[in-house]
Structure 1
Amino acid sequence: MVLGLQGRRTVTVLHILCCLWAIFALTQNIGLPQSARRERENTYGGQWKHLTFLNQIFQTILFVLCVIIDVVGLCIPSHEKKVSSILVPVRDFIFATLVFPVGLFVAVVFWGLYAYDRELVYPRELDEVNPIWLNHSMHTTILPLLFIELIICPHKYVSALKSIFGLTVFTITYLSWITWVHHASGIWAYPVLAVLNVPGKIVFFSIAYCIVLMFYFLGWLLTKQLWARRRKQL
């Protein structure tokens, strides 16, 4: 879909605002003060063992790429084709394979477990450390950012095989990482894992993977329907 100059400027402004928020939320998460009672949980793997933190990194990278592509297209049109040929496929792959399915998973599963029993995912003692707005920046505002990006940018999905392979590799890598963290330090990234036995963990991980996979196809379907309809309106 080819946008007019005003439309491209609007998209650029939205991308810049999303990018600034993503960077701000990520830096605030990094600078989070540590609770003395949770010091042990910060001794191995740090925040890198939390999917929420990884998702914030993915979203930040995505919006940085979007801003670069937009700004080059508006300010240095002679370089637009070259830059887009390199960065657009990367942007689209990150959005389709990681940002949309993982971001949606983080928001839905976190608040689902929180509603059932918050101690399984976000113990009350964290309220003493995390301001409420920071909790929402990690688990709530990521959701509207996903749909803003879905609506304003026509991402091209690569073959489902490549995307599912990439998503599967990430899932296996992440699950292997948090399992190793527990093996090396006795720390589970999330309290819910501490109350499950081995079969329970296998079922939990399997269901989690199926949910992420479902969210990938949801992103693909929404993108296809939304942008197919818009192209017909041109």
Structure 2
Amino acid sequence: MTKTTTCVYHFLVLNWYIFLNYYIPHIGKDEEKLKEFHDGGRSKYLTLLNLVLQAVFFGVACLDDVLKRIVGRKDIKFITSFRDLLFTTLAFPISTFVFLVFWTLFHYDRSLVYPEGLDDFFPAWVNHAMHTSILPFSLVEAILRPHHYPSKKLGLALLGTCNIAYIIRILWRYSQTGNWVYPVFAYLSPLGIIIFFSAAYILNAGIYLLGEKINHWKWGATVKPWMKKK
């Protein structure tokens, strides 16, 4: 893609995520059946947190596109570096993780993650917007331009820190309300929950390494973007 096409792509996807972040939290806000969905805000749902994350990433990508045209590549190296770090360690792994885990559990037993009653409030297109479209958008970004990956130690450490932070959020909410964010946890023993969380991080780490492989396959060994010749 040309630089102009890349800019347009980032702008369109950014606006799509801005729309979703505004629209979805307002669905059924006055419905008693959706009280649990709105109680505690979006920070308890990884799906909604991921939508915020994607909006932030594509916002940074748009800013990077614009500033490169205005002030030049070398003068915005911090923004370019932050863009790459955000995508490689969080945006790509988490969007892919949400897609894989949600649809695996959904097709195994949807009551574990997305009970049928939600269909009365969330149209099919909203479900796919939250859980399906996130993957192709991330894949397109992965092959659209090269991204500088940090060292594996740093990248996996950042990803692990975010995993732990979200696990603490889930456990804290359960200790306060007695309700699990996702029904699947109610069917697991304490040991099962530990295994689930451990497997989730292993999957996330595998996705991170897969993203690095895709980047290398498409672009070869890449140097930091601001070090490239104009």
Same fold (TM over 0.5): yes
After TM superposition, give the deviation of residue 25 of structure 1 in Å: 1.6
Determine the structure 2 residue equivalent to 1:3: none
Asked if 1:118 corresponds to 2:110, the answer is yes
Match for 1:104 among 71, 84, 96? 96
- In angstroms, what is the RMSD of aligned CA positions? 1.8
| SS of the residue 1:87 aligns to | helix
CA distance, structure 2, for counterparts of residue 81 and residue 70 of structure 1: 13
**Structure 2 residue runs without a partner (length 5+):** 224-230
Asked if the contact 2:113–2:184 (Cα under 8 Å) also holds between the matched residues in 1, the reply is yes
Determine the structure 1 residue equivalent to 2:12: 17
Determine the structure 1 residue equivalent to 2:45: 50
CA distance, structure 1, for counterparts of residue 196 and residue 222 of structure 2: 39
| SS of the residue 1:182 aligns to | helix
**Structure 1 pair 124/151, CA: closer, same or farther in 2 (3 Å)?**
same
Asked if the contact 1:101–1:219 (Cα under 8 Å) also holds between the matched residues in 2, the reply is yes
Give identity over the alignment, percent. 36
- How many residues end up aligned between the 2 structures? 222
After TM superposition, give the deviation of residue 31 of structure 1 in Å: 2.1
Match for 2:159 among 167, 173, 190? 167
Superimposed CA distance per residue, residues 126-148 of structure 1 (whole angstroms, 9 cap, x where no aligned partner): 11111111111100000111011
Letter in 1 for 2:84: D
Asked if 1:200 corresponds to 2:196, the answer is no
Determine the structure 2 residue equivalent to 1:137: 129
Equivalent residue runs for 1:191-230 within 5 Å? 191-228=183-220
CA distance, structure 2, for counterparts of residue 81 and residue 106 of structure 1: 35
Superimposed CA distance per residue, residues 187-227 of structure 1 (whole angstroms, 9 cap, x where no aligned partner): 21101011111111111111111111100000011011111
Asked if the contact 1:65–1:91 (Cα under 8 Å) also holds between the matched residues in 2, the reply is yes
Deviating more after overlay: 64-73 vs 166-175:
64-73
Asked if the contact 1:110–1:139 (Cα under 8 Å) also holds between the matched residues in 2, the reply is yes
Equivalent residue runs for 1:143-158 within 5 Å? 143-158=135-150
CA distance, structure 1, for counterparts of residue 37 and residue 66 of structure 2: 41
Deviating more after overlay: 10-19 vs 214-223:
10-19
Asked if 1:62 corresponds to 2:54, the answer is no
After TM superposition, give the deviation of residue 104 of structure 1 in Å: 0.3
Letter in 2 for 1:218: L
Moved over 6 A (4+): none
Asked if 1:38 corresponds to 2:34, the answer is yes
